[in-house]
Amino acid sequence: MAGRSTASTRPKPPQRRRISKSSNPKFLKDPKLLFSSALLLCDAILVALIIAYVPYTKIDWDAYMSQVSGFLGGERDYANLKGDTGPLVYPAGFLYFYSAIQYVTGGQVHPAQILFGILYIINLGIILFIYGKTDVVPWWALILLCLSKRVHSIFVLRLFNDCLAMMLLYASLASLLYQKWHLGLIIFSGAVSIKMNVLLYAPPLLLLMLKAMSIGRVISALAGAALVQILLGMPFIMSHPFAYISRAFNLGRVFIHFWSVNFKFVPEPIFVSKAFAISLLIAHLGLLTAFAHYRWCMHEGGLFKFLYSRLDPIKLKFALTSSFPLKKSFNIHSSNRVLRKEYIVTTMFVGNFVGIVCARSLHYQFYSWYFHSLPYLLWKTPFPTVLRILLFIGMEFCWNVFPSNLYSSAMLFFLHIVILVGLWSAPSEYPFVDNKASPENKDK
């Protein structure tokens, strides 16, 4: 009895203790998570110091406040909503967001800088989250996301609406990583309602939706995004629809040659010509088609076979033969398939970068449109690490030359082309995860 009692009272292996001990080292051994947390803290301190000691540069803030004041005063005709820099050229979401900002800050610059400093940290946190969900950029290279003098200036010294638009875009992308396509499209539409540059992401996003969802779900997601635009613009559509649509969604604006950062080396008569604009548009569409056909849809047999499979799957099922080994393990006609996170981020970032390369004019605040994707894009190229870092430094240098000149703009264009060639040279990624039974397979 005593022996039996001794055996029963013998202490058992500390399983619970082992579990708690193993969970902590897992967190402590994750360099990306630790380094990202440290970056957020350090950048928050840096932003606070910039706000405290670097003089604010007044550019568009007064114009934003004038336009918002007109809206809050009851004006619903976009033709009459103007500021110091000219008429209002942004969709209705811009007015709602900056009305809220005016209410919180009282229209004062310093409180607005603090608010935008918070938005900067939130934006950086979302971006670090996206990087953490992929295994492309090494943990130490995440510091590049915090080293841009120009981007800090865009957020807390200029208070541009580009900051809000891109923060929502990255929030939308984070939703897509969890296959939340309808939610992602709603947030994406909210970003477009602040500034239309977000539409550069629309072509790759549509392609991803066609890969991940049935046609019916794609249509319902697009309808939800369109509904957001209609609801936000309703006060203006009901009163002065032509003025709203023509000004808020004007795709034919001609920018001033002096402020161009990327095409300052092009003579002004050519820069403002319609032929130059059409040439860039053709280049944009051609590059998107080439990337979609030879890179993004390579494992489905190319863009046109993929589109045909989505639009006419019954006929294609009997007409196509397998020409890629990876097709044997997946049926390309299935719907609601889970896309790999890395594939989603790569397609979105590369699609936007193609639009950046072909943009007729990039102003200084437009750097925020793609800066945070640069480390990811650079590490997707087959270049050695030293060249990647040199390309990053060169980009940052070009964007900090003020005003831009023939040499800085030509250098920027050259760097864009080098990165684009590197992205084209990278191997094509397989789009889908292996486990179709994943809980992420359902679009909620």
Contact between residue 92 and residue 192 where contact means Cβ atoms under 8 Å apart: no
Contacts of 436 (CB under 8 A, 6+ apart): 334, 337, 338
- H/E stretch holding 359 reads none
- CA neighbor of 367 nearest in space, from 219, 163, 178, 200: 163
pLDDT at 314 over 70: no
Whether residue 272 lies inside any domain: the answer is yes
Res. 72 pLDDT band, cuts 50 70 90:
very high
* Residue of 189 and 327 predicted with greater confidence: 189
pLDDT digit string, tens, across residues 219-271: 999 999 999 999 999 999 999 999 999 888 887 777 888 889 999 999 999 99
C-alpha span between 378 and 390 (Å, rounded): 10
Give CA–CA dist 441/430, Å, rounded.
17
Task: Give per-residue burial for 202-213: e unless 16+ CB within 10 Å, then b.
Answer: bbbbebbbbbbb
With 60 as the cut, is the pLDDT of residue 27 above it?
Answer: no
Q: For residue 302, give both structure tokens.
A: 């190319």
pLDDT of residue 437: 40
pLDDT at 288: 98
Q: Note whether residue 235 is domain-resident.
A: yes
Structural domain includes residue 26: no
CB of 244 closer than 8 Å to CB of 236:
yes
Contact criterion met (CB below 8 Å) for 380 and 423 = yes
Residue 4 in any domain: the answer is: no
Average pLDDT over residues 353-377: 96
pLDDT higher than threshold 90 for residue 347? yes
What value does the mean pLDDT take over residues 159-164?
96
Q: Is the pLDDT of residue 330 over 50?
A: no
pLDDT of residue 438: 42
Query: How is 161-201 classified by DSSP, letter by letter?
Result: HHHHHHHHHHHHHHHHTTT-HHHHHHHHHHHHTT-GGGGGG
Length of the chain: 444
Instruction: Evaluate whether 337 touches 211 at the Cβ level (below 8 Å).
Output: yes
High-pLDDT (> 70) share of the chain, %: 85
Spell out the residues 6+ positions from residue 222 whose beta carbon is closer than 8 angstroms to its own: 185, 209
Residue 74 lies in a domain: yes
Q: Would you say residue 317 has pLDDT above 90? A: no
For residue 45, report the phi and psi dihedrals to the nearest 5 degrees: -65, -45
The radius of gyration of the chain's CA atoms, rounded to the nearest angstrom, is 25
pLDDT band at 58 (very low <50, low <70, confident <90, very high): confident
User: Would you place residue 86 in the very low, low, confident or very high pLDDT band (cuts 50, 70, 90)?
Assistant: confident
- Expressed as residue numbers, the domain containing 277 is 31-320+336-425
CA–CA separation, 264 vs 260, rounded Å?
6
Q: Between 311 and 308, whose confidence is greater?
A: 308
Confidence of residue 32 (pLDDT cuts 50, 70, 90): confident
∠ at Cα 392 (391, 393), nearest 5°?
90
More confident of the two residues 34 and 419: 419
In a domain, residue 24? The reply is: no
pLDDT of residue 10: 53
pTM: 0.88
Is position 437 within any domain? no
pLDDT at 80 over 80: yes
Residue 143 lies in a domain: yes
**Helix, strand, coil distribution of the chain in percent, nearest 5:** 70, 0, 25
Give every CB contact of residue 335 below 8 A, 6+ residues apart in sequence: 213, 214, 217
For 37-57, the pLDDT digits (tens) are: 999 999 999 999 999 999 998
* Amino acid at residue number 439: P
- Judged against a pLDDT cut of 50, whether residue 307 lies above it is answered with yes
Under 8 Å between Cβ of 395 and 420 = no
Confidence of residue 84 (pLDDT cuts 50, 70, 90): confident
Q: Summarize the confidence of residues 203-212 as an average pLDDT.
A: 96
DSSP per residue over 123-147, as a string? Answer: HHHHHHHHHHTSSSS-GGGGGGGG-
pLDDT score for 19: 46
Bridge partners (DSSP) of residue 83 are: 86
CB 83 within 8 A of CB 66: yes
CA atoms within 13 A on the CB side of 307: 8
Domain count, the chain: 1
The residue whose two tokens read 């808020």 is 248
**Helix (H) or strand (E) segment spanning residue 39:** helix 31-53
pLDDT at 311: 79
The whole-number average pLDDT for the span 174-202 is 96
